[in-house]
Chain A
Amino acid sequence: MYKYIIRRVLVFIPMLFALTVIVFGLALLAPGDALTGQSLADPNVDPEVYEQQREALGLNDPIPVQYFRWISAAVQGDFGNSMVFNGRSVAELIEARFANTLYLGLFSLAITIIVAIPIGIYSARHPYSLLDYGATGFGFFGLSIPNFFFGLMAIYFLSIKLGWFPAQGTMSTPGLTGWEAFFNRLHHMFLPGITLGLAGTATYMRYMRSEVLDVLGSDYIRTARAKGMSERNVLYKHTLRNALIPIITLMGFEIGVLLSGAVITEQVFQYPGLGTLFLSSVTNRDYPVVMAIAMILGVLILIGNLLADIFYSIVDPRIRYD
């Protein structure tokens, strides 16, 4: 197993490198650069001045040189300065928002797991029951309704009409600490969390149902029953472990899905995370910020896939030794 994990980590490295090249390349391809990107519209500035600035910022250096300057700073957490937020450092700008998005993502992933897996198991054990039909209906609903629309509905009914949940932000009073802060955060995260997690919950519910149904019909489950194992043992030991194997793999990809979904969901709820920052930075052509966020999201997705593969090798003994 360790061999497999090491091999998998080694594959991670070139992928990471490819990611940095792609992000850097995209930034190069984008119209404008660190100077023109911001002041395209300023015809009063002498082009000579631009040239001098460019030279000074190293924008005229050969591309590989620029790449290495960027990447070596980036690995130290230095993504340069924002061109919009009064030149504050990108790292500082991102830090707080990164945590917000991470919490939101984890929260909605937790909801997905807590809701989808038990319902999926129940549906598989009682196929064509009332609850199974209900879950199927919910699945269609969850998959077909656009995220932003569900978000707006949630705000309208649960926040404005009923006043159960706050519609935006991460905390009501800044200086909260301890559990109070934690629950206040959870309260704020609830609506964006279920909005973000809706599609995933619907998907995993269906996956779980079909996986469990599949496994329950397999020969080794019949063997377990023939051995006199209790229904509980058959379900939670013999079935679950097998049914979760493909689910775990998919969960790794889910990190990417959640992060991209977060861009829109955060916008709807005015949630100060990476998504809102990303959108505003793209609009403002704040390239250092855009690149930094693209890098972070890319790395998270790669890590998600890596974790999925590692978990996979832990739960499924068949792939450890190939």
Chain B
Amino acid sequence: MKKHAVLDVAQLKTYFYLNNGQVAKAVDGVSLSISPGETVAIVGESGSGKSITALSIMKLINKPGRIVNGEIALNGKEMQALSEKQMTGIRGNDIAMIFQEPMTALNPVFTIGNQITEILRKHKKMNKKDAQAKAIHLLKTVGIPRAEEIIHEYPHQLSGGMRQRVMIAMAISCDPKLLIADEPTTALDVTIQAQILDLMLEMKEKFHMALLLITHDLGVVSEYADRVLVMYGGQIVEQAKTKELLRHTKHPYTQGLMQSLPKLDEDVDRLGTIKGMVPPAYNFPAGCRFSSRCPFVMDKCKVSNPELTEIDTDHFVRCHLYENAGDES
């Protein structure tokens, strides 16, 4: 299965070298693999390194950040050696990305049409007229009414939901193998959120894309993802098929996330929350990075960071509690 993975990331480390000499280990040894057509979700609280993981895959890390280690392969082809120029041929073409803030993600001074056609002209070498026709077609595909008029309008004339649809239209315009969506609905109204997610799923099916969905909403995960990676402190702490992860949640952090979800079938007065704050990426606790907040913390946890271990088929956990679980069962 790994052989044909759309995306294969191994031991990715992206660090930020701060002015005061500190190093923020935003992503610290993340490995992941996405099969064709698969939807993989990355969940985690704010600051856990989700966006930086995504941007590292796109090689869009700006100073003072740098990818210090890791191999990223797209359809089996290594991307490290690629020049910036070669990368521009891949971005938007083989991997497309959608961002959290539709209000600011589009350039305010160019028309919607201009911003869609430029990607077609760059990657598909279309002429102006064909690109224009294709742009209208794409806008219709993502459910935008009056597409012929919208291409002449500017981003500020559209609502947030419409803008996110435009972003999706741009993302699918060159038939990418992989779509990365970084919290695509966080900034939208609840009613619009489901529409956008459904649209993305529909596009994924239609264009046979794999989807890397970043979110901090386990509800979204349960509905849309095939597989889940839970991130904390720049590392993956738990990883499994969605059903498995939701049913047999192992890591105390994931359990904490689950408890903060409202459940329809249980009558609770107040949602559980994880105590404390995410430690800053330049100052993780020694040992397990979750140890400062973990309700089950042991002495061992404060000195050594556990390895990500497979405790069940395709179920990985980074926690001392399950260290011998593999042997016992």
Contact = CB atoms under 8 A, between A and B. Distances in A.
B77 to A, nearest CB: 16
Interface in B272-315: none
B273 to A, nearest CB: 30
B156 interface: yes
B95 to A, nearest CB: 8
A316 B154 CA distance: 10
A210 interface: no
A10 interface: no
Given A223-B107, A226-B92, A317 B97 contact: no
Interface stretch (A42-50, A93-101, A228-236, A266-274): A228-236
Interface string A200-240: 00000000000000000011101111111111010001100
Contacts of B133: none
A241 interface: yes
Given A228-B90, A230-B88, A317-B154, A223 B106 contact: yes
Interface in B78-112: 84-85, 87-93, 96-97, 99, 101, 104-111
Nearest to A221: B107
B60 interface: yes
B188 to A, nearest CB: 15
A4 to B, nearest CB: 14
A318 interface: yes
A308 to B, nearest CB: 17
Given A222-B99, A317-B109, A228 B88 contact: yes
B99 A219 contact: yes
Interface stretch (B33-41, B118-126, B212-220): B118-126
A151 to B, nearest CB: 39
A230 to B, nearest CB: 5
Given A317-B154, A317-B156, A318-B154, A228 B105 contact: no
A220 B88 contact: no
B74 interface: no
Most chain A Cβ neighbours within 10 Å, of B93, B105, B167: B105
B26 interface: no
Contact of B105 (A220, A238, A245, A316): A220
A242 B60 contact: no
Nearest to B96: A226
B91 A218 contact: no
A219 B101 contact: yes
Given A227-B118, A227-B119, A318-B156, A219 B92 contact: no
Interface in A161-215: none
B209 interface: no
A228 B107 contact: no
Contacts of A225: 58, 60, 91
Nearest to A217: B62
A181 B122 CA distance: 48
A226 B58 contact: yes
Q: Which of A220, A226, A231, A315 has the most CB of B within 10 A?
A: A226
Nearest to A234: B88
Contact of B60 (A218, A222, A315): A222
Contact of B109 (A227, A233, A316): A316
B7 interface: no
Contacts of B154: 317-318
B170 interface: yes
A219 B105 contact: yes
Contact of A224 (B101, B104, B107, B123): B107
Given A226-B58, A229-B118, A242 B108 contact: yes
A180 B76 CA distance: 67
Among A225, A230, A231, A318, residue most surrounded by chain B Cβ atoms (within 10 Å): A225
Contact of B107 (A226, A242, A315): A242
A226 B106 contact: no
Contacts of B106: 220, 223
Interface string B152-166: 001010000000000
Contacts of A242: 107-109
Contacts of A238: 107, 110
Contacts of B119: 227-229
Contacts of A226: 58, 60, 91-92, 96-97, 99
B91 A227 contact: yes
B89 A218 contact: no
Contacts of A237: 110, 118
Contacts of A316: 108-109
A225 B59 CA distance: 10
Interface string A304-322: 0000000000011110000
Contacts of B84: 231
A7 B106 CA distance: 29
Given A220-B107, A225-B60, 17 more contacts: A219-B99, A219-B104, A222-B105, A226-B60, A226-B91, A227-B91, A227-B96, A227-B118, A227-B119, A228-B87, A229-B119, A233-B122, A238-B107, A241-B110, A242-B107, A242-B108, A317-B111
Interface of B: 58, 60, 84-85, 87-93, 96-97, 99, 101, 104-111, 118-119, 122-123, 154, 156, 167, 170
23 contacts: A219-B104, A220-B105, A225-B58, A225-B91, A227-B92, A227-B96, A228-B88, A228-B89, A228-B91, A228-B93, A229-B122, A230-B88, A230-B122, A231-B84, A231-B88, A233-B118, A237-B118, A238-B107, A238-B110, A241-B109, A242-B109, A318-B154, A318-B156
- Which 10 residue pairs across A and B have the least CB separation, nearest first? A228-B92, A228-B91, A227-B92, A219-B104, A220-B107, A317-B154, A226-B97, A228-B88, A227-B119, A223-B105
